[in-house]
Structure 1
Amino acid sequence: MLNLPPRISSRLNSSQFANLHTFLVAARHLSFARAAQELCLTASAVSHRISRLEAALSMKLFQRLTRQVSLTDEGERIFEILQSAMGELSEALEQSSQAEIAGSIALYARPSVAQCWLVPRLADFIERYPLVSLDLRVGNDNVDFRTRKIDLALYYANGEFPGLTSQRLMRERMAPVCSPEYAQRHRLLENPQNLSNCTTLHDSLAWDHAAYDAEWTLWAEQHNLLAALPKRTLTFDRSDLSVTAAMSHAGIAIGRQQLVQKRIDRGELVLPFGGFSQCGHYDYYLVHPPLSVVPKRLQVFMNWLRECAQEDEAFS
């Protein structure tokens, strides 16, 4: 007797697969209009497909509001199942018959860690995995994995990522840095009280909801130097820009060790008040949506990132 596979439920027959795909796109955008643009349909056609799917499944997938839609609890459950299934299918299709590691990775990172730490190391990854393409995007906002096709994010943060999978990539420490000329001009070496005569350079978007002077305040509180912080400041929206300004003698910046150590080793920057210290609970994290199966291309990339981080921490 033949062992036949079970029949697909009559509620989900072959005519519903197009509707399921339409639902997946609409749920990702939380907009019938944007889903229509991606699918080259009208918003009305998207709405009709969703309605037919809801009727077939005997469940409501969306709450229709005046100018927007939101997923119901059942809609959220179906959306998560479909995302997971499509991810596994994409992974299976991308692997060659020789099981070579291939495909594309969309990475979102904070600008400073991308510029100063990641990009200089990418040649090694490309040499190891020539069939993996990397699409690197940068920004200061937390990426919405639902609406943007991003596989992985690299954040400088406190480790709180509700609903997402995260792992600490490497620890970070900080200290004031400036050019040798600036330190000499302001007599800063081992004289932190002279900080009050300087210009402090700030990364005003160091992490989510950070005050413009958050890093300087953390460091100054730890070293009992809040009263010595000067009134004269320059602010930037990237840590690497504040450090570049420090190298050009514009002032003194908070340097993150992972991003500035090589410049210190080359003599482009100095640590006028001593070495780096852990200030607060901010480190670098790899973040992605929960995945039942992590694609091989993504797994080897994360392993490579951890290898790079471990090498750096071994020398710090």
Structure 2
Amino acid sequence: MLNLSPRMGAKLTNAQFANLHTFLVAARHLSFARAAEELCLTASAVSHRIARLEQSLSLALFHRLTRRVALTEDGERIYRILQGAMGELSEALQQTPQAEVAGAIALYVRPSLAQCWLVPRLANFSARYPHISLDIRVGNDNVDFRTQAIDLALYYADGEFPGLVGSKLMGEMIAPVCSPEYAHQHGLLDTPDNLRHCTLLHDSLAWHNAAYDAEWRLWARHHQMDALLPERSLTFDRSDLCVIAALNHGGIAIGRHQLVQKRIDKGELILPFGNFTQPGHYDYYLVHPPYAAVPKRLQVLIDWLHECATQPCTPAITCHKNLTTQG
């Protein structure tokens, strides 16, 4: 156990800057061994550097547990400060002589949202901010900002992000969608009860920890149609793949308004049971770690995304009378 002397107004020295960098890497990995690999040091050297830093600052930065380390409250505070300071320094070093906003941003997005909403808009961002390099990464897992080099995440979620900063980007509504041919073949425009004879197209990873049929169940409960859901199904791990299957008459999918409206406008998909509704509380959120000050390059991206989200969406084309919703 560290023997820390009473704190007497600790001051940074030249040697402590190297130790702070070692701490930053170790805190990001929560592992002295992995920090040693990144820094080309031994784990013992990393441990000694951090111990010297703790001694000089009179602060315990890590809890040394049996097979791992964890940040103390002071360690978490110092880590967040260092993260923000390093981000600001990196941004300052990358500024052009004309002081244009510049740098690299890693943006993590749900695959369907990237495909159907974000990517078609990116040419505008690149033209407006030519000195910002965007690295778009997609996936269905939630990001570990501590260990992954991600600056900002765009989730379809319920708005709960413990320990992170989340802001609502735009709302979402859902409704079953299918091709006109499929609706005609199964008599869906005449009788909603015929849903029981259809093939349901499921996004098995609609949101974090969702059941494979979560969206269909959410919609059906809202409209009191649980008993009509058939067992026959095709399951994907992306909403846009469900939509592609629906376009090709493979079944009926839960469509998200922000992602399928253009298909409906073109007549490629229809809403056999009425317009979009919001039966749950799932929307699109921008999520990032707490920053003392959000880096300018990241702030312009956040502002641009909000600008895109406020652009009006064409009203839905309804192909059947609205269902009576409950509650």
64-73 or 193-202: which moved more? 64-73
The answer to whether residue 24 in structure 2 is matched with residue 21 in structure 1 is no
SS in 2 for 1:114: helix
Letter in 2 for 1:266: K
Indicate the residue corresponding to 1:224 in structure 2.
224
| Structure 1 position 51, deviation (Å) | 1.5
Gaps of 5+ in 2: 1-7, 317-327
Letter in 1 for 2:223: H
Helix, strand or coil for the counterpart of 1:298? Answer: helix
Deviation (angstroms), 1:201: 0.7
TM-score, normalised by the number of residues in structure 2: 0.90
Gaps of 5+ in 1: 1-7
Please state how far the C-alpha of 1:235 moved relative to its aligned partner.
1.2
Quote the residue 1:75 is aligned against. Answer: 75
Alignment of 1:180 with 2:183, yes or no, is no
Partner SS, residue 60 of structure 2: coil
Q: CA deviation at 1:9?
A: 5.6
- Report SS of the residue matched to 2:17: helix
Cα RMSD of the aligned pairs, angstroms, is 1.6
Distance 1:277 1:79 in 2: 43
Query: 1:274 offset after TM fit, Å?
Result: 1.2
In the aligned structure 1, how far is the partner of 2:254 from the partner of 2:101?
A: 40
Q: What does residue 118 of structure 1 align with?
A: 118
The residue correspondences of 1:152-171 to structure 2 (distance < 5 A) are 152-171=152-171
On the 8 A contact 2:173/2:257 being kept in 1, the answer is: yes
1:311 aligns to what SS in structure 2? coil
Residue 324 of structure 2: aligned partner: none
Percent identity between matched residues is 71
SS at the partner of 1:147? coil
| Contact persistence 1:170–1:313 (CA under 8 A) | no
Alpha-carbon distance, 1:239 to partner: 0.8
Q: 1:203: which partner in 2?
A: 203
Contact 2:172 2:258 in 1 (8 A): yes
Q: Deviations over 1:46-94 (max 9, x none)?
A: 1111111122222221122232111122211221221222222223222
Alignment-derived partner of residue 3 in structure 1: none
Matched positions, count:
309
C-alpha distance in 2 between matches for 1:172 and 1:190: 27
Per-residue deviation, 1:222? 1.5
| Structure 2 equivalent of residue 192 of structure 1 | 192
- The superposition leaves residues 86-120 of structure 1 with CA deviations (integer Å, 9 ceiling, x where unpaired) of 22222322223322011111101111101111011
SS of 1:201's equivalent in the other structure is: strand
* TM-score (normalised: structure 1): 0.93
Work out the CA distance in 2 between the residues paired with 1:287 and 1:42.
35
With over 3 angstroms needed to count, the CA separation of the structure-2 counterparts of 1:190 and 1:167, relative to structure 1, is farther
